[in-house]
Amino acid sequence: MPVPASASRPAPASPAEARSTPVDGVEVIGALSPSRAVDFVTCPLRYRFRTVDRLPEEPSLDAARGTLVHKVLEDLFDDPAPDRTPERARGMLAPTWEALLGAEPDLAGLFEGDGPEVTTWLASCATVLDRWFTLEDPRRLEPAERELYVETVTESRLLLRGFVDRLDIARNGALRVVDYKTGRAPRPEYEAKALFQMKFYALVLWRTRGVVPTVLQLVYLGSGEVLRYHPDVDDLLATERKVEAVWRAIVAARESGEWLPRRGPLCGWCSFQALCPEFGGAPPPLPTD
């Protein structure tokens, strides 16, 4: 069985992950989150730019909307159940945005020059929040955890880690893992890719708590849809094998120095096009460290 790790481990890729602390008593060979695993599978060069080179990325309106909406949905549950209304959620947007600007001043640049007006953009965030209330009733929910950091160490000593948006625990102990997406639900042929992240979280929770989550729930606020999946042990074992295979491929790329680009439909949203050979660019030299 994998060695469980109850402490947290730092992941400098994001401010949220930086809150974690080292794993106690286990010398891990590396660390992988679901987002970084998806990065590598989608495009090894993108993984390199983000994780090896750690190149800065320009902020985007979509990413900022996701951050803001997630924070409001997290903090809304601090209020008593009767007060968790659409009006209350909308009223939290402006002060939460000001707090985010205080932590990340560069976000203000999104609204300079030809950018949209802040009030118009906040209204689009309110529309996304309103849609959530048509899918779930927060007055009837009492999450066990919000923004929960989870981790485990596999038999190969690979650290798996990530943040779960919401964990609900029923009276009978059943777990529901919930993740909010501010975009639209994927087409059926892309659902497996979307569920990989949720199976990753389910695997970590199973390894640390000994319970296979009953429901994995993706809430798509962009299109007002909910995708639910009921995993079993075979699903989670297959996910573990896939994660280990991804890590082996990452190690091979690191040892060879060949981080190959993979052109695809997401290239149009990539911050690194100017450095990508697929678009006439040239990657910088690999860091010597």
pLDDT number for residue 7: 32
How does residue 4 score in pLDDT terms, banded at 50, 70 and 90? very low
End-to-end CA distance of the chain, in Å?
33
What are the structure tokens assigned to 55, written together?
């190149």
What digits encode the pLDDT tens for the residues 132-168? 999 999 999 999 999 999 999 999 999 999 999 999 9
Contacts 24+ apart (CB under 8 A), 276-280: 276/45
Full-model pTM? 0.88
- Are 2 and 155 in contact by the 8 Å Cβ rule? The answer is yes
- Average of per-residue pLDDT across 253-280: 93
Contact yes or no for 278/266 (Cβ under 8 A)? no
- Asked if 170 contacts 176 with a C-beta cutoff of 8 angstroms, the reply is yes
Token representation of residue 265 = 């439909």
The more confident residue out of 167 and 27 is 167
What interhelical angle do 118-133 and 61-76 show, nearest 10?
50
Neighbours of 242 (CB within 10 A): 16
**pLDDT value for 112:** 80
Tens-place pLDDT, residues 185-241? 999 888 888 899 999 999 999 999 999 999 999 999 999 999 999 999 999 999 999
Contacts of 19 (CB under 8 A, 6+ apart): 8, 149
Q: Which positions ≥6 away from 265 have C-beta within 8 Å?
A: none
